[in-house]
Amino acid sequence: MAAAFRDAFATKDFVVTAEVGPPKGTDVAELVRHVDLLKDRVDALNVTDNQSSVMRISSLAVCRMILDRGGEPILQLTCRDRNRMALQSELLSAAVLGVKNVLCLTGDYVSVGDHPQSKPVFDLDSVQLLQTVCLLNHGKDLAGNAMQGPTDLFPGAVVTPEADPIEPQMIKFEKKIVAGARFIQTQAVYDLDNFKRFMDEARKHDVKIMAGIVLLVSPGMARYMNKNVPGIFVPDALIAEMAAADKDKRLETGIRIAGRMIRRLRDEKVCDGVHVMAIGKEECVPEILKAAE
Amino acid sequence: MIVAKRKPLEQIEAMLEGFERILIAGCGTCVAVCMAGGEKEVELLAAELRMKGKLEGKRRVIDEITITRQCDKEYLDQLAKYAGEYDVILSTACGAGVQFLAERYDDKLVLPALNTLFIGVAEGPGEWSQRCMACEECVLDQTGGICPMTMCAKNLLNGPCGGTNHGKCEVDGQKDCAWTLIYNKLKKLGRLDVLRKIQPPKDYSVMAKPGRFTHEAFEKAEDEEGK
């Protein structure tokens, strides 16, 4: 079993997490295959929460499946689908089921997903959710009531280093740390110089930073993300590198690019680790990590 | 003001199916300004319904009356002498006006001709935008006069989400990111420090529905009467 995630920051110079997405429906065969493939190769596995606002198995259920298989899960919890009572209840449930880590997110809006008619909740925002985790860790709920037994959750948050404008993003980043975030997983980063500039600011705070790595599978994907995904910037040079590869070598090229980025982040001690998101290509994560050696 | 929009004619026709004597009651305040339910719009709706009725060979009488406001009892009373003559009253007020009219004439079927949209402002000719959610706990002093409860799709109180995209919102690329607007405004005012304060969760208990409010001057008067 991988070492507990929070201890990994004390014992390792560079911590690695990957991500699995719960499926829609009850067939978990592929998910289990991915968990088994990744659980011993990374320090923890994020489990997304109705990712892209598409209804799926809950993050908590899959976190427990990961624990059963000897892995270390990070519960992703968004503010989209639950009010403050349901969020706290989920956090208590996570704690008693053995989950130790929680990543607090705002969540995508409902209209991007498969139930656009849903009532969006957003009773709390990500900063307030982080505060809530810390209250529960101290044995109190958000209404100030004492509880029978506190949680012991390691709270994390996200930041978008390429956000434009960057200043309001950085102000919120600081609030998240004040609110209790102990680790940060960033949105995908491709431009090392830009990321280093972000790190110059981020290093002023007592928080562990993990750079987001999203596997590129084609030049089209890179262009699509540049155009459509907020806060993602793939430099032209990388798009050209992807385009120059033969069609059947593109995935290999993407893996090489991701591996190279991880290697540089680690060898140049830019940040405390990486969070690898191989959206839909989880079986490539071991190769990405190998390419980073 | 309250901004509203007329329902599609087919939907209004379907509601009126089987009724012969119809009174269309207009409202001369907000919905007149936003060109949805004032005197002119009532006139137009009546003409459309008469024409449609005639084409389909329906026997029906459609009359019109527009009062100053349907959300005030004193104006609703003006309908008293006519209401009895009709099978149904089709109100072109906002949702509040329709209900108040239905309450005042409680033996009469009152139907809505509009869909109520929001509390908003006139951006330009024929164009309105939402500005207030009536959340009972105004935070505009801390957000540069831009409401995050209304202008941010996720009503976030502590800054932009990851979906902010070069000043636009991930939900709709045509819409501005409220938090970019708030940031720009506070920066301009030299008040960015306000943004650094963590805002606590919203207290939704004050928004318990249905809202009710008595002005304190009248509260006192009621108390004294009670004594």
Q: Which of A84, A168, A174 sits opposite B179 (nearest CB)?
A: A168
Residue B70 contacts A, CB cutoff 8 Å: no
Written as six digits, the tokens of B54 are: 């005639």
Report the greatest alpha carbon distance in chain B. Answer: 69
CB pairs < 8 Å spanning A and B: 98
Contact call for residues A189 and A252 (beta carbons, < 8 A)? no
- Looking at chain B, which residue has its C-alpha nearest residue A127? B158
What are the structural domain ranges in chain B? 2-118, 133-197
ipTM over 0.85: yes
Positive or negative: CA dihedral A98, A101, A106, A110? negative
Positive or negative: CA dihedral A68, A280, B161, B134? negative
- Angle subtended by helix axes A250-267 and A192-202, to nearest 10: 30
- Nearest CA to A271 out of A43, A14, A9, A10 is that of A14
Residues in chain B closer than 8 A to A126 (CB atoms):
158, 161
- Looking at chain A, which residue has its C-alpha nearest residue B166? A164
Residue B155 contacts A, CB cutoff 8 Å: yes
Q: Which of B170, B187, B201 sits opposite A109 (nearest CB)?
A: B170
- Nearest CA to A48 out of A291, A285, A278, A287 is that of A278
- pLDDT (0 to 100) of residue B191: 97
- pLDDT (0 to 100) of residue B219: 83
* Residue carrying the six token digits 């000897």: A70
Distance CA B72, CA B77 (A): 9
- Angle subtended by helix axes A236-244 and A219-228, to nearest 10: 150
Q: How far is A87 from chain B (nearest CA, A)?
A: 13
Q: What is the pLDDT of residues B156-182, one digit of tens each?
A: 999 999 999 999 999 999 999 999 999
DSSP string, B5-64: EEPPHHHHHHHHTT-SEEEEEEESSHHHHTTSSSHHHHHHHHHHHHHHHHHTT---EEEE
Residues in chain A closer than 8 A to B170 (CB atoms):
108-109, 112, 230
- pLDDT (0 to 100) of residue B112: 98
Distance CA B178, CA B158 (A): 11
Q: How far is A78 from chain B (nearest CA, A)?
A: 12
Distance CA A228, CA B168 (A): 12
- Looking at chain B, which residue has its C-alpha nearest residue A173? B159
- pLDDT (0 to 100) of residue B222: 67
Residues in chain A closer than 8 A to B178 (CB atoms):
none
Residues in chain B closer than 8 A to A168 (CB atoms):
159-160, 164, 179-180, 182-183, 195
| pTM reported for the whole predicted model | 0.94
Q: What is the pLDDT of residues A134-163, one digit of tens each?
A: 999 999 999 999 999 999 999 999 999 999
A171 and B204 within 8 Å at the Cβ level: the answer is: no
DSSP string, chain A: -PPPHHHHHHH-SSEEEEEE-PPSSS--HHHHHHHHHHTTTSSEEEE-SSGGG---S-HHHHHHHHHHTT--EEEEEESSS--HHHHHHHHHHHHHTT--EEEEE----GGGSS-TTSPP--SS-HHHHHHHHHHHHTTB-TTS-B-SS----EEEEEE-TT-SSHHHHHHHHHHHHHTT--EEEEEE---HHHHHHHHHHHTTSS-EEEEEEE----HHHHHHHHHHSTT----HHHHHHHHHS-GGGHHHHHHHHHHHHHHHHHHTT-SSEEEEE-TT-GGGHHHHHHHT-
Residue B173 contacts A, CB cutoff 8 Å: no
What is the number of residues in chain A? 293
Residue A25 contacts B, CB cutoff 8 Å: no
Strand partners, A211: A274
Contact call for residues A15 and A271 (beta carbons, < 8 A)? no
- Looking at chain B, which residue has its C-alpha nearest residue A80? B154
Distance CA A242, CA A245 (A): 6
**Domains and their CATH numbers in chain A:** 5-216+273-280 (3.20.20.220)
Q: How confident is the model at residue B227 (pLDDT cuts 50, 70, 90)?
A: low
* Residue carrying the six token digits 């409860």: B149
Residue B82 contacts A, CB cutoff 8 Å: no
Q: What is the pLDDT of residues B80-94, one digit of tens each?
A: 999 999 999 999 999
Residue A19 contacts B, CB cutoff 8 Å: no
Q: What is the mean pLDDT of each run of 10 residues along chain A (293 residues)?
A: 79 97 98 97 98 97 98 98 98 98 97 96 98 98 97 98 94 98 98 97 97 97 94 96 96 97 98 95 96 96
Residues in chain A closer than 8 A to B167 (CB atoms):
164-165
- Looking at chain A, which residue has its C-alpha nearest residue B159? A172
A165 and B195 within 8 Å at the Cβ level: the answer is: no
A168 and B195 within 8 Å at the Cβ level: the answer is: yes
A172 and B196 within 8 Å at the Cβ level: the answer is: no
- Nearest CA to A112 out of A195, A230, A267, A282 is that of A230
Q: How far is B130 from chain A (nearest CA, A)?
A: 18
Distance CA B185, CA B194 (A): 12
Written as six digits, the tokens of A225 are: 């993300």
User: Mean pLDDT throughout B39-66?
Assistant: 96
User: Helix or strand or coil: residue B150?
Assistant: helix
* CATH class belonging to B2-118: alpha beta
